[in-house]
Structure 1
Amino acid sequence: MFDIGWSELVLIGAIALIVVGPKDLPDMFRQIGRFTSKAKSMAREFSHAMEDAAKESGVHDVAGDLRKIASPKSMGLDTMRNAATKFESWDPLKSSRDASVKKAVEAEEIRHSAASVTAAPVMPPPKEVPVPPPAVRARPKAVRRRAMFTESPRRRAVPRRPTPKK
């Protein structure tokens, strides 16, 4: 409560011993103990009285109703949290891979069932034809560009119109 360490307590005890004296020191500690116990009992009685008054007025019932109304479950926030968690853990690449694997397995099962019904030999899937690499194009020649920022920019002379004489 007061955050007093052992070193502070020893210092306070030494000062009390010097100021009060060794003869009256036990009586002083006894009086301090009685005072603190009275203060604690008064605080305890006050808090019990306030709790009893709150129970009589129905504050606890109202507080319970407010907690129920404001709970995340009643507002539907728990379903939103679950949906957000599912969305964050969703991997689109994993689901597409799983779907393609399922489709391949289903297609293989259909082939096997069709082969067993017709008793005809199953044709192996066609082999992939290698695609030639794209032709390498010649690299275009580098175009010299004029620097945008130079130390002394060149300015073109602008012809001036003669001013009319009056």
Structure 2
Amino acid sequence: MFDLGWTELLLIGIVALIVVGPKDLPGMFRAVGKFIGKAKGMAREFSSAMNDAAEGSGVDDIKETLRKAANPMKSAMDEVKKTTDSVTRDLKDSAKPVLSEERQSQADKIRDKAAEMASSRQAAEAEAETAKPEAAKPKPKAKPAPKTKPKPKAAPKAKPAPKAKASQKQNAGDKA
């Protein structure tokens, strides 16, 4: 409807502050809010009344006819799908076996016996679970202590080499 950005709204707010004054500005905003709320309510009511009138006059039927005319392939496929759905539903209903009274009573006995066995098995499992001693239950494993890297060993200090005075004397004696 109106294309107002933040700058326009800021300008309107500043002008309203100057014209109306800071004392009466909240009351003016409240009145404007009520007016906008009433206008939105009236628009909503008008829109719903128009939708109700359109439904009553058969506009939906015309719209559906136009849709089918615009896309005949889709409408034909929809009709095929409806037909196949009704046929499969009819087949499922007719495929239900009809048991004689004797067979029906036997089937009921089997179902009852299976239910009885299942309940007794559940009771036995529950009893066995409560009868287990605490020691038999597995205990959670303790977490191993985190491994720390070993500190590198310092290299051994090298011993000073023996003084070579004796060998120098021998070398000096050889030279002479």
* TM range, smaller chain: 0.3 to 0.5
Normalised by the length of structure 2, the TM-score is 0.40
Normalised by the length of structure 1, the TM-score is 0.43
Higher helix content, 1 or 2: 2
